[in-house]
Structure formats: structure tokens, C-alpha cells
Amino acid sequence: MYNFDFEKPSTIADAVAALATEDAQALGGGQTLLPTMKQRLASPSKIVSLSGISEMQGVCKGDDGSVCIGGATTHATVAASASEYPALAALASNIGDPAVRNRGTIGGSLANNDPAACYPSAALASGATIVTNARQIAADDYFQGMFTTALNEGEIITEVRFPVPEAANYQKFEQPASRFAMVGVFVAKYADGVRVAVTGASEEGVFRWTEAEAALSADFSAHALEGLSVSGEGMINDLHGSGEYRAHLVKVLTKRAVAAC
Amino acid sequence: MTNISMTVNGKTVSGEVEGRTLLVDFLRNDLRLTGTHVGCDTSQCGACTVHVDGVAVKSCTMLAAEADGADVATIEGQAGADGSLNTIQAAFQEHHGLQCGFCTPGMVMAAADLLKNNPKPTEAEIRHHLEGNICRCTGYHNIVKSIMAASGQDVSQLAAE
């Protein structure tokens, strides 16, 4: 990895100032960024660690009943502390492996928007709000394609707010070597309807399966999905699985998620 | 270059590192604590597992500068001052929990992390916890057996030999 300047500010304001330098890069837990830098696929001139910012740590309950998670909160902390939203805690408890969960952060995962990451599906299916140092972004506007988000240069995810659903479940079909999702489906049932978000499958990154949402909002049962099909068009096609295979998994995992709710 | 200091196995240490210096390189090259191994260098194999502020991390995927001020524990600090093995190490020896030994430091540190939070894990819980630790000799059965034994549970019924 090429060398860089290192800064570890203790406030959001200092981090924003440090990131104003050209080619500066925020560092969450580094579980994706550091391997990327080792391969020289990224070579920032400055790394700004967000791990020392106490106001971006931890899980709490908002006034409206939503679960609020600081952007620098690790997966392990979410798994242990997000008991108000059990499906979210369960998702966090199965990302990567224990040591990775002790470093990786929710803000880092959402900022990176890996097409096979778990968190984007939870954020999109929950209609979460991504809070940054500058604004609040609805999940529907935030995810803009593989590794692409609404974040501007130097913008930091300080918090993520999840409305708590009546029922929810996440099903991940793991790619056995990397443990990333070959396909992952997050189903969340709210009073005003059901939302279904799919990760791992599409070349465009996480997406909502709107046909399934309509069917499940009318009849919340796995049976309601019988007549639906997912096209393999635009699905990721690689040595781990074809587009058709991933499309098939989307329906299977959605049914499993509904059955487990 | 940045000056960093931390506690490693109870001793205060300090050094000068580049931004890009990994924690494992600081431990091995600067402190000469070569018990922590680099296996894959891609955060998959877990041979470099150490504890930072009480939790297991992969030291090949953490910057040394991120550990400034932290309390770090490595395999070298696991045995007693007189060299006597701790419970987990003794169980690995007793139950042949290692073959070539390369993954063992990471396995022992991962096991310590598990048993601290879950003193009586089931076999399935042990296997799940070791997802991020790879044994290239494929000696998993006896590693699991060793950790079961270290937790004080009966291992006579486990299939592995």
C-alpha cells in the first residue's frame, strides 16, 4: 500500500475539515478500504479515521421510536445493542466473521455500497434515513448503483435511522469463500405496506423488488409470491453463479424471509 | 512518521510508524513479537488475530496508528510469567489442536475471545466463531475439541480424534 498522512480527529467538525484536502479518504473500520489499498486499487493522500469520534458511536432509540445507529458503530455493537430491531441485529451478527465485525462499521458499509454487502438491503427495506454531516438522505434516494451513493466528496455518514417494522427478516445465501451475500433479501412489514430489498444480485447494486412488495402488502405470506418471477437480465453473472441462478435465489430467499417473519 | 504508544501484553511500548504501517507489522517488526503470524494478508485467514481493547481483530487489517493508546494482547502474553501454558494453550497441546502450528496463535486468540463472552459454547457455536480462522492443515476437529475442553466441557463424546 502506498503511504499516506494519517489523522484521527475526535469531532465530526474536525473530520469534515480534515477531509477537505484533495484525495483525502474517510476510514471507517477499514475492513474493505485497507485490502483495497493493499492492492493499490485506492491510494488516498490522507486517511481520516472516524473511529475516535465518540458522537458517532453507539445505538439509541429516537423520539419517533426509530433505532438510531452512529455511523462509526461496529457490526458487533449493532448485533449486541440493536435489540429494538431484532432482524437488524441478526443481520449485523452474521456479517463477515467475529474479528471483522469488531472493526467494520455501518457507516463504512453504507458509504462503500458494495453490491454484495448486507447493510444496504436493511437500510433500503426499512426506508432508513442516512444522516450526514450536511443533510438527511432517504434510503430510496441514497443508493445509486454499484459502489455509488448520493454522498458528496468528504461527506460523512454520522448516523443511520431505522423505523422499526412490525415484522422483518433477512435471508442471506452466502458465497462460501468470501461470506458476502451471493444473494440477500431483507423483508420488512410496516403498517403502511411491505418493503423488500435485494442485495448481491443486481449489477446495479441493492434494489427493491416492487412486485413482491405489492403482493406481500395484499397478502403477507410466502404463497403470495408463487405467481411472480424475477428476470436474470441485469443480474450479476460470475464464476460463483449465473444471472439466472441469482434471479432464482431472489424469489426463494424472499419466500424464506416471509416464512421466518 | 507518527509517534504511537500502546500497552502490549501489559507493557507500555512506543514507536515511530508510517501512516500505512499495519498493526501486525508494528508488532512483528518493531516489537519483535513474531508469534502473531501473517497468513493471507487479506483479512481472511485469521492467523494475525490479536485483541485490541478486549476484542479480537485481524491485525493485518488495522493500521498501527489506529491502535495508538489501545490495550493490545498477543499470543506472547497468554502463557504465565513462568512459561506455564494457559488453559486454552494447554488444551490445544493435550488434544492435538495443532499440526503445523501456523494458524495456532490466531486460533488461541479467537478462542479466548469466544470463551470470554460465552464460557460454555456448543460445538456449533465454536465452529461459527472460527469462521474467520483458517487452518490449512484442515485440523478443525481437534481445534474445536481443544476449545470445548478448555471451556471445561466433556469432549469424550466428540467424534474427532
Structurally, chain B folds into a number of domains equal to: 2
How far is the C-alpha of B28 from the C-alpha of B35, rounded, in Å? 8
Which segments of chain B are extended strands (E)?
Answer: 2-8, 11-17, 49-52, 55-58, 71-73
- 8 Å CB contact of A6 and B2: yes
Let me know whether B48 and B8 are in one domain.
yes
Cell numbers standing for residue A132: 450526514
Which chain B residue lies closest to A43 (C-alpha atoms)? B20
What is the domain extent for residue B68? 2-77
Task: List chain B residues with CB under 8 Å of A49.
Answer: 63, 65-66
Let me know whether B55 and B94 are in one domain.
no
Let me know whether B8 and B58 are in one domain.
yes
pLDDT band at B39, cuts 50/70/90? very high
What is the domain extent for residue A232? 167-260
Is residue B40 in a domain? yes
Among B20, B61, B132, the residue with its CB nearest the CB of A98 is B132
Here the CATH number for the domain that contains residue B32 is 3.10.20.30
Which residues have a Cβ under 8 Å from the Cβ of B11 and sit 6 or more positions away? none
Let me know whether B24 and B91 are in one domain.
no
Range name among A60-69, A156-165, A175-184, B48-57 with the lowest pLDDT average: A175-184
Residue type (1 letter), A225: L
Question: Between residues 178 and 197 of chain A, which touch chain B (CB distance below 8 Å)?
Answer: 179
State the smallest CA–CA distance between residue B152 and chain A in angstroms. 23
Let me know whether B11 and B66 are in one domain.
yes
Nearest alpha carbon to residue A220 among A189, A184, A260: A189
ipTM reported for the complex, 2 dp:
0.95
Mean pLDDT of chain A: 97
Is residue A194 in a domain? yes
| Residue B38 pLDDT > 90 | yes
Question: How much of chain A exceeds pLDDT 70, in percent?
Answer: 100
Please identify which residue in the block is written with the cell numbers 464464476.
A239
pLDDT band at B27, cuts 50/70/90? very high
Task: Give the H or E element holding residue A210.
Answer: helix A210-218
Q: How many CB pairs under 8 A join A and B?
A: 73
The residue-averaged pLDDT of A169-175 equals: 96
Here the CATH number for the domain that contains residue B112 is 1.10.150.120
The residue-averaged pLDDT of B127-135 equals: 96
Q: Among residues B50, B77, B104, which one ends one of the domains? A: B77
> How distant, in Å, are the alpha carbons of B84, B98, B109 from that of B80?
5, 20, 15
- 8 Å CB contact of B43 and A5: no
- 8 Å CB contact of A34 and B63: yes
Position A230 scores a pLDDT of 95
Q: Does A25 touch chain B (CB under 8 A)?
A: no
Let me know whether B73 and B91 are in one domain.
no
- 8 Å CB contact of A49 and B68: no
Is residue A196 in a domain? yes
- Is residue A115 within 8 Å of A141, Cβ to Cβ? no
Is residue A197 in a domain? yes
Which segments of chain A are extended strands (E)?
Answer: 5-7, 24-27, 46-49, 59-61, 67-70, 129-132, 136-138, 157-162, 167-174, 181-190, 193-199, 207-208
> For A48, phi and psi rounded to 5 degrees?
-115, 105
Question: How much of chain B exceeds pLDDT 70, in percent?
Answer: 98
Please identify which residue in the block is written with the cell numbers 423483508.
A187
Q: Does A49 touch chain B (CB under 8 A)?
A: yes
Is residue B157 in a domain? no
Residue type (1 letter), A68: C
pLDDT band at A179, cuts 50/70/90? confident
Cell numbers standing for residue B83: 512459561
Is residue A233 in a domain? yes
| Residue B161 pLDDT > 90 | no
- Is residue A125 within 8 Å of A164, Cβ to Cβ? no
Cell numbers standing for residue A144: 445509486
Nearest alpha carbon to residue A110 among A119, A98, A101, A102: A119
Is residue A137 in a domain? no
Here the CATH number for the domain that contains residue A195 is 3.30.390.50
Position B159 scores a pLDDT of 67
Q: How many CB atoms lie within 10 A of CB A163?
A: 16
Is residue B7 in a domain? yes
How far is the C-alpha of A127 from the C-alpha of A109, rounded, in Å? 17
Is residue A100 in a domain? no
End-to-end CA distance of chain A: 44
Let me know whether B8 and B70 are in one domain.
yes
DSSP, res A149: B
Position A178 scores a pLDDT of 81
Let me know whether B72 and B106 are in one domain.
no
| Residue B5 pLDDT > 60 | yes
Task: List chain B residues with CB under 8 Å of A47.
Answer: 19, 63
End-to-end CA distance of chain B: 50
Which chain A residue lies closest to B57 (C-alpha atoms)? A99
How far is the C-alpha of B60 from the C-alpha of B78, rounded, in Å? 20
Among A3, A51, A103, the residue with its CB nearest the CB of B19 is A3
The predicted-structure confidence for A203-241, as pLDDT tens digits, reads as follows 999 999 999 999 999 999 999 999 999 999 999 999 999
Which of A34, A105, A179 would best serve as a mutation to test chain B binding (most B beta carbons within 10 A)? A34
Position B52 scores a pLDDT of 98
Let me know whether B138 and B92 are in one domain.
yes
- Is residue A118 within 8 Å of A94, Cβ to Cβ? yes
Is residue B158 in a domain? no
Which chain B residue lies closest to A177 (C-alpha atoms)? B44
- Is residue A103 within 8 Å of A74, Cβ to Cβ? yes
Structurally, chain A folds into a number of domains equal to: 1
Is residue A231 in a domain? yes
- 8 Å CB contact of B114 and A98: yes
Question: Between residues 142 and 181 of chain A, which touch chain B (CB distance below 8 Å)?
Answer: 179
Task: List chain B residues with CB under 8 Å of A96.
Answer: 132
Position A173 scores a pLDDT of 97
The predicted-structure confidence for A88-100, as pLDDT tens digits, reads as follows 999 999 999 999 9
The predicted-structure confidence for B105-118, as pLDDT tens digits, reads as follows 999 999 999 999 99
Task: List chain A residues with CB under 8 Å of B61.
Answer: 30-31, 34-35, 100, 103
Task: List chain B residues with CB under 8 Å of A5.
Answer: 19
Cell numbers standing for residue B16: 515511530
Q: Among residues B59, B77, B95, which one ends one of the domains? A: B77
Q: Among residues B77, B107, B124, which one ends one of the domains? A: B77
- A132 beta partners: A157
The residue-averaged pLDDT of A18-44 equals: 96
Let me know whether B22 and B66 are in one domain.
yes
